[in-house]
Structure 1
């Protein structure tokens, strides 16, 4: 089932590299607009939000659409890792606010060594 939006976390990725990757996958990006600490643009018409250092050294990338080329966070994370060569983390499936905090701490990590499930406490 397609997720309503896509969110991944990237380590050591530059906004410029992410913008180039998004332009290749989604279409041309508008200029990034600053809104507080976040940067926002539209890539191929899809609203994009970039929050640097959302969790420690990890940057959050949110694609606010269910019409991306990726069916879920994991598909996007795999593509981002292949294109950018940085470690990516994502939720293993959709997570709902009403679910237990413990389930919310289970993440997938994708890096040069492959994919693995990890426990990542983001609070």
Structure 2
């Protein structure tokens, strides 16, 4: 199973549903309560089920974590997914560069940051 995770700054509640609906089929996501709690949903991609989970307040109060899990997804990497989200929402998107592993120290951890300045590796804070 593949999983992708991106972080969206100042996410507007319908923006993620609109973005996902342009890439996935039958997106069911109740994102109206986004500011309060985790939001779970489902979708389909090429006949495969996709789990969608949003965690508001992840990585600081202004970011929402978006996790997509499925056997087949429209993007090959977190960065590909982040690029798509950036084009659709025009707000700062962050994602892991893919080389960090759970349990490793985070003091020098770098993340891809996509915003109006372009794409760059940056320390989260």
Same fold (TM over 0.5): yes
1:4 Cα shift? 2.6
Which deviations, in whole Å up to 9, do the C-alpha atoms of 1:23-55 show, x marking residues without a partner? 111112124287x82001002231000111212
- Residue matched to 1:20: 18
**Root-mean-square deviation over aligned CA pairs:** 2.0
- Counterparts of 2:51 and 2:28, CA distance in 1: 10
Q: Which has the higher strand share?
A: 2
TM-score by length of structure 2 reads 0.83
CA contact (8 A) 1:6 1:65 kept: no
Gaps of at least 5 residues in structure 1 are none
Q: Whole-Å Cα distance in 1 between the matches of residues 85 and 21 of structure 2?
A: 12
Instruction: Pick the aligned partner of 2:77 from 64, 68, 72.
Output: 72
Q: Distance in 1 between matches of 2:20 and 2:30?
A: 12
TM-score, normalised to structure 1's length? 0.84
- Give the length in aligned residue pairs: 117
Instruction: Specify which structure has the higher proportion of helix.
Output: 1
Q: Is the partner of 2:87 in helix, strand or coil?
A: helix
